[in-house]
Chains A and B, each alone.
Chain A
Amino acid sequence: QVQLVQSGAEVKKPGASVKVSCKASGYTFTSYYMHWVRQAPGQGLEWMGIINPSGGSTSYAQKFQGRVTMTRDTSTSTVYMELSSLRSEDTAVYYCARDPKIVVVPAAIAEEGIFDYWGQGTLVTVSS
Chain B
Amino acid sequence: DIQMTQSPSTLSASVGDRVTITCRASQSISSWLAWYQQKPGKAPKLLIYKASSLESGVPSRFSGSGSGTEFTLTISSLQPDDFATYYCQQYNSYFRTFGQGTKVEIK
Q: Which residues does A use to contact B, with CB under 8 Å? A: 35, 44-47, 59, 61-62, 95, 97, 112-116, 118-121
Contacts and interface: CB of A to CB of B under 8 A. Distances in A.
B1 to A, nearest CB: 9
Contact of B44 (A46, A59, A113, A115): A115
Contact of A45 (B45, B87, B94): B87
B97 A120 contact: no
Given A44-B100, A47-B96, A113 B43 contact: no
Interface residues of B, number: 21
Interface of B: 32, 34, 36, 42-46, 49, 55, 87, 89, 91, 94-101
Nearest to B56: A116
Contacts of A45: 36, 44, 87, 89, 98
B98 A114 contact: no
B interface secondary structure, majority: loop
Contact of B55 (A61, A116, A118, A120): A116
A114 B94 CA distance: 11
A113 B32 contact: yes
A97 B89 CA distance: 14
A116 B55 CA distance: 9
Q: Which one of A95, A114, A116, A119 has the greatest number of beta carbons of chain B within 10 Å?
A: A114
Contacts of A44: 87, 98-101
The 6 closest A-B pairs by CB, nearest first: A113-B91, A118-B43, A47-B96, A45-B98, A114-B34, A44-B100
Question: Taking each of A44, A47, A59, which has the highest tally of chain B beta carbons within 10 Å of its own beta carbon?
Answer: A44
A69 to B, nearest CB: 19
21 contacts: A44-B99, A45-B87, A45-B89, A45-B98, A47-B96, A47-B97, A47-B98, A59-B94, A95-B43, A95-B44, A97-B43, A112-B49, A112-B91, A113-B32, A113-B96, A114-B46, A114-B89, A115-B46, A116-B55, A118-B43, A120-B43
B84 to A, nearest CB: 14
Contacts of B91: 112-114
B68 to A, nearest CB: 18
Contacts of B98: 44-47
